[in-house]
Structure 1
Amino acid sequence: MFARCCSVKTWLVALSLSFSAVASAAYPDHSIRVILPYAAGAAGDIVFRMLQPGLAKELGQPVILDYKSGAGGNIGTQEVVRAAPDGYTLLLGATNNFVINQFLYKGMSYDPSKALVPIAKVVDVPAFIYLNASVPAHNFAELKSYAEKHPGVLNYGTPGAGTTPALSGWMLSEAIHGNMTAVTYRGSAPGVQALLANQIQVYIGGYGIASAYLPSGKLRVLAVALPERFAALPSVPTTKEVGIGSAVVSNWWGMAAPKGTPAPIVERVEQALHTVLSDPAIQKKLQDQGFVVSLESTATFKANLRKEAPYWEDVIKRSGVVIN
């Protein structure tokens, strides 16, 4: 009797694997939904709109973007976590959705490191330190000197509590001993307007959100969080060059699937994504908007997530930021 039960179980497992293999081989046979856990107009939206036609061509099916914003990206990410692991519901998430929110939000119902299958990093969004021109500092050393001599005078803006710019702003304040005050806005656009109006003096964000104001002299940019200088602003030093290392960290966007998604499907999406991102025309369009293309493999992306999560866990503990 035991042998018969075992043989039935073995047959069922084999049958299940067979169906999975057939489904993977046919993938995709209908449209794919990519959930963006933020509102339209976010950096991920801009990026995906550039990639969407190429992905649809490579995969042979429509690739539809679905906005599911709220709770720092947790609502949309959770929908992906709960979706069938068949490759037809994918996530395009930011740093927060992979390695930050699980430490930031109390009672979060899932751990992205266990509930998601990483596919690939898509782009890095280099973080620039922007300064209102009224501050008497023309380079980073002068900003640090001014902040140390006038602790508590400077304010820095953030696009939301617990975001990479918010946490980077806190770390920057610690690095320059500025005791800066955080002012939280609902997104980058109002934060930049506040910077222009000198309601805040410092803002950390991407190239696209504020670079247009640099030629007028209303804003200055003091450093960029990249291993090398950003091509469009070659005179701007890196954070390493100015001596603050990883005190300011850039955001990034990556794709993932629900846990249990078959490896052949993950590989299929990764290949399509890398083919599109390897196109020089796409790379130029993304760079013009302030994005840096990543061509990391799935394995490298997974390894980097494991390294990055403890870093953010430590930052959040030290900053004392918790969101209920």
Structure 2
Amino acid sequence: MSRKRMSFYFAASLSALYLAAPAFAQEWPAKPMRVVIPFAAGSVSEAIFRVMSPPVEARLGQRFVVESKPGADGHIGVGEVIRAAADGHTLLLAPTANFAVTPHLFKNLGFDPLTALDPISLLADAPLLAVIGANVPPRNLKELVEYVRASPGKYNYGSPGSGSPAHLAGAAFAQMTGNAMVYIPYKGTVPMISAMLSGDVLAAFPTLTGIIGQLKAGKLRAVAVLSRQRMAEVPDVPTSAESGFPQFTGSNWWVLAAPHGTHPRIIERLYGEFKTSLGDQEIRKRVADLGHNTIGLSPAETATFLKAESARYKSIVEIGKITAQ
């Protein structure tokens, strides 16, 4: 082929790509976008998304249809999105457990969420707290560690479900005390709190939403927020870093993702629209009222975050020899 003809084909190819770019942008979204949440309807994640999404819908010219797909610890909903067409019309909104915990508890998932999904943004998170009964002697996190270490095997910790961030935070705390605690799983936050109030459980590591009433009533006491910043709702509770345990952190976060192979322009457009939405002060306040912080990490930042969190939870699972229950 002559050099002149090669130049012609090269120029034609560039022109085709250039002309295709605007057409692509106009074609998406061509219909309402499904957002699969791997939990029962009415979850806090659904409430958060419904707060954030209306401005995004207005700018995209299409609405989001939230579909709850509970079952099998979220695997059903996650798997459905992974198998969906990578055309930007099916998305996943899933938490810590589905991205960073259950892949280390279930060896036969059939997929790796970090490679089978393309992250759009870490939208929000809710820090965990170290909580004990009001009548338990320790007044801070350091005293609680010493209290447990002094009586190996005597005390326990609970969680609202195995494989949850609260469970793994409890496991990490138990490891800090020399594995001196017994784990008791519950089916939800309510029965776990009841066990704490009756004195059957020493400690738990929930998010603020499910325990704020008991904290305000003085029935439970938070000895630390497992983050690097204090929470506005409980400003007198120190962080784990302030208490001398900077590595002891944990939160329940929510990531928006798409099937792997979704066009980068779609990913970036969605990220940009949600980032703009999260900059709205009223939306930030309404998300805070649901016990969460707005985040808005970029796709690349979210991917890096997911890898780090997955590695951290893998270590906790392996050291504690934690298995699916």
TM-score, structure 1 length as denominator?
0.89
Partner of 1:287: 288
Q: Partners of 2:46 and 2:81 in 1: how far apart?
A: 17
Deviation at 1:64, TM superposition (A): 1.2
Q: Partners of 1:129 and 1:199 in 2: how far apart?
A: 16
AA in 1 matched with 2:185: T
Question: Which 10-residue stretch deviates more, 165-174 or 46-55?
Answer: 46-55
AA in 2 matched with 1:145: E
Q: Partners of 1:19 and 1:322 in 2: how far apart?
A: 50
The percentage of counterpart residues that share the same residue type is 33
Partner of 1:201: 202
- 1:11-40 C-alpha deviation (Å, 9 max, x unpaired): 9xx999988974443211211110001123
Paired residues of 2:142 and 2:244 also in contact (CA < 8 A): no
Partner of 2:214: 213
Please say if 1:242 is aligned against 2:243: yes
Q: Secondary structure at the match of 2:152?
A: coil
Please say if 1:118 is aligned against 2:122: no
Partner of 1:7: none
Alpha-carbon spacing, 1:137–1:26, altered in 2? closer, same or farther (3 Å): same
Question: Which 10-residue stretch deviates more, 112-121 or 171-180?
Answer: 171-180
AA in 1 matched with 2:306: L
Partner of 2:88: 87
Q: Partners of 1:18 and 1:307 in 2: how far apart?
A: 39
Q: Partners of 1:191 and 1:262 in 2: how far apart?
A: 43
Q: Partners of 1:137 and 1:274 in 2: how far apart?
A: 41
> What pairs with 1:172-183 in structure 2 (closer than 5 Å)?
172-177=173-178, 179-183=180-184
Partner of 2:8: none
TM-score, structure 2 length as denominator?
0.89
Question: Which 10-residue stretch deviates more, 142-151 or 81-90?
Answer: 142-151
Q: Partners of 2:222 and 2:112 in 1: how far apart?
A: 36
Alpha-carbon spacing, 1:197–1:20, altered in 2? closer, same or farther (3 Å): farther
AA in 2 matched with 1:310: A
Q: Partners of 1:16 and 1:81 in 2: how far apart?
A: 28
Deviation at 1:276, TM superposition (A): 1.3
> What pairs with 1:47-196 in structure 2 (closer than 5 Å)?
47-177=48-178, 179-196=180-197
Alpha-carbon spacing, 1:206–1:294, altered in 2? closer, same or farther (3 Å): same
Extract structure 1 runs of 4+ deviating beyond 6 A. Answer: 14-21
Q: Which stretches in structure 2 are left out of the alignment for 5+ residues?
A: 1-11
Deviation at 1:219, TM superposition (A): 0.4
AA in 2 matched with 1:75: I
> What pairs with 1:251-270 in structure 2 (closer than 5 Å)?
251-270=252-271
Paired residues of 1:36 and 1:93 also in contact (CA < 8 A): yes
Across the aligned residues of Structure 1 and Structure 2, the Cα RMSD in angstroms comes to: 2.3
AA in 1 matched with 2:281: P
AA in 1 matched with 2:265: P
Alpha-carbon spacing, 1:28–1:111, altered in 2? closer, same or farther (3 Å): same
Count of residues in Structure 1 that have an aligned counterpart in Structure 2? 313
Partner of 2:9: none
- 1:148-200 C-alpha deviation (Å, 9 max, x unpaired): 22222222111221221111101111213462211111222322232223221
Paired residues of 1:156 and 1:183 also in contact (CA < 8 A): yes
Q: Partners of 2:259 and 2:18 in 1: how far apart?
A: 18
Paired residues of 1:106 and 1:323 also in contact (CA < 8 A): no
Q: Partners of 1:217 and 1:310 in 2: how far apart?
A: 37
Paired residues of 2:141 and 2:243 also in contact (CA < 8 A): yes
Q: Partners of 1:142 and 1:103 in 2: how far apart?
A: 32
Deviation at 1:224, TM superposition (A): 0.7
Q: Secondary structure at the match of 2:209?
A: helix
- 1:262-318 C-alpha deviation (Å, 9 max, x unpaired): 011111211121111111011111122221110211111112222222222222111
